[in-house]
């Protein structure tokens, strides 16, 4: 799966600056609501927070894949954020997190959801890719890096 097909340029945010897990999830829900006009920002945030209650989506090495399910959605929405500094996120390796790839998935789409998560996690194993996205200074550059590594 190509990340650039999953994440649009306007859902690629480089060099953002947030200082808490809750605030970054709020920002993700704000962006998601803009892309899903029939949705409610509060419902999106609740979906993300409910998933975090089950266990942190911090997968280690400074990376998190926050995700939540939303009814009424017909396709996956993905957002990539790179925070200027790593923040506490309760990751399993206890490292702070600066790279976030968030997913809002249709409720009931379990197979697609798991395949998307696996594909993203696989892409994030590439150290050069992770280094490059962390170095992106603006949104367009971040998106171009996604496109470059998909080819």
Total domains in the chain come to 1
Q: Tell me the backbone φ, ψ of residue 77, rounded to 5 degrees.
A: -115, 130
Instruction: Read off the pLDDT band of 18 (50, 70, 90).
Output: very high
Among 13, 21, 51, 67, the active-site one is 67
1, 4, 134 from 117: Cα distances, Å: 10, 15, 20
Confidence at residue 92, expressed as pLDDT on a 0 to 100 scale: 92
Decide if 139 is inside a domain: yes
Q: Is the pLDDT confidence value at 73 over 90?
A: no
Q: What is the mean pLDDT of the chain?
A: 92
Pairing of strands 97-106, 67-70: parallel
Confidence at residue 5, expressed as pLDDT on a 0 to 100 scale: 85
Domain that holds residue 72: 3-146
The b-or-e profile of 26-58 (16+ CB within 10 A means b, else e) is bbbbebbbeebeebeeebbbebbbebbeeebbb
Q: Is 43 helix (H, G, I), strand (E, B) or coil?
A: helix
Per-residue model confidence as pLDDT tens digits over 77-134: 999 999 999 999 999 999 999 999 999 998 876 677 677 888 888 889 999 999 999 9
| Annotation marks residue 113 as catalytic | no
In 55-109, which residue ranges form alpha helices assigned H by DSSP?
A: none
Decide if 151 is inside a domain: no
- Pick 138 or 120 by higher pLDDT: 138
pTM for this model (two decimals): 0.93
Rounded-to-integer distance, Cα 60 and Cα 26, Å: 21
For the chain, give percent helix, strand, coil, nearest 5.
Answer: 45, 25, 30
CATH number of the domain residue 35 falls in: 3.40.930.10
């Amino acid at each position: 799966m190509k990340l650039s097909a999953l994440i649009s340029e306007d859902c690629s945010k480089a060099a953002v600056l947030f200082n808490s897990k809750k605030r970054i999830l709020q920002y993700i829900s704000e962006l998601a609501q803009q892309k899903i006009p029939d949705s409610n920002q509060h419902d999106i945030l609740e979906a993300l927070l409910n998933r975090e209650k089950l266990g942190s989506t911090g997968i280690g090495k400074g990376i998190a894949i926050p995700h939540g399910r939303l009814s009424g959605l017909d396709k996956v929405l993905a957002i990539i954020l790179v925070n200027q500094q790593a923040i506490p996120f309760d990751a399993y390796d206890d490292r702070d997190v600066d790279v976030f790839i968030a997913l809002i998935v249709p409720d009931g789409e379990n197979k697609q959801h798991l395949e998307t998560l696996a594909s993203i996690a696989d892409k994030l194993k590439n150290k050069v890719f992770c280094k490059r996205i962390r170095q992106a200074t603006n949104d367009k550059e971040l998106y171009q890096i996604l496109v470059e590594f998909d080819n």
